[in-house]
Amino acid sequence: MTTTSEYLLGHTATEQERLLQQAAILRNWTSEFFRAAGLQARMRILDVGSGMGDVAMLAAEFGAQVTGIDSDAAVVQRARSRVAAHGLADQIDLIHADIFTFRPAGVFDAVIGRYILPHVIDPAGAVRHMAGLVRSGGLIVLHEVDFSEPIEPWPHAPLWDRTYRLLGESFRRMGKLPDAGRRLSRIFLDAGLPTPVLEARLPVCVGRGSYIYGWVAETVRSLLPVIEREGLGLAKDIGIDSLALRLESESVELGCQLMGPTQYGAWVIKP
């Protein structure tokens, strides 16, 4: 098993577009978690792993002042342009920085993040560092995911099963946690925090036209270098350009319902 801090999905323009599509899918769930956790106007919020800026912009809609950090300089630059285009430049400051080395001038009222923990080698250490950037009585709020294993549909869908398993196994081979969402309670405790409040959402698709087929297929596309490097499959055999259509066709032919990755919201008030 290789352990690395690299972002496994890469830094291509294609991956940036995938992130935009994913943000649209996740937006309502993230908003629900933020609202339940108690994000409010006038809070100073740190968004960790801000990527294309969607989570920072969502937090800004609550009336917060947001600082976003990301380790990918190109993504930060594009996110700044998007923030400006949305008229939020006065509310959001985006910085090229790594969570483990970021040292702000003061503390925040809340730290937030979405899909952060599957990309770090030490999730508890990352949460511990995040918590250190929040004032006592402030919030730590995470939206995380479990894509480690497919939830078995009925009837069995073999292409869906093979495709979905590539996601979890690619992360495991690189020393990452595709089931970080399922581990959130223990991760918070190991970070020295109280047991968090937890909620979950499960995406389900039936029939034609669901976003899930393309979401899974495009994530596999971004993971192809890892999949091939780790001997999990070859691009020519996966048939990435037709994968979403074949996943849809299989589901429609079988008449099954497919369950996507489980979404977890976790939050805690820092003692």
Tens digits of per-residue pLDDT, 115-153?
A: 999 999 899 999 999 999 999 999 999 999 999 999 999
Helix (H, G, I), strand (E, B) or coil at 59: helix
Would you say residue 236 lies in a domain? yes
For the domain that residue 225 is a member of, what is the CATH number?
3.40.50.150
Q: In what order do the strands lie in the sheet with 44-48?
A: 92-96, 65-70, 44-48, 108-114, 134-146, 262-269, 197-201
Per the domain annotation, does 31 fall within a domain? yes
Query: Domain of 41?
Result: 13-269
User: Is residue 2 in a domain?
Assistant: no
48, part of any domain: yes
pLDDT of 248 strictly over 50: yes
Is 1 within the bounds of a domain? no
In the chain, the number of structural domains is: 1
Q: Is 3 part of any domain? A: no
- Residue 5 lies inside a defined structural domain of this protein: no
Looking at the domain assignment, is residue 171 inside a domain? yes
- In this prediction, residues 232-237 reach a mean pLDDT of 94
Q: Which residues have CB under 8 Å from 248's CB, separation 6+?
A: 208, 210, 213
Backbone torsions φ then ψ of 253, nearest 5 degrees: -60, -40
pTM of the entire structure?
A: 0.95
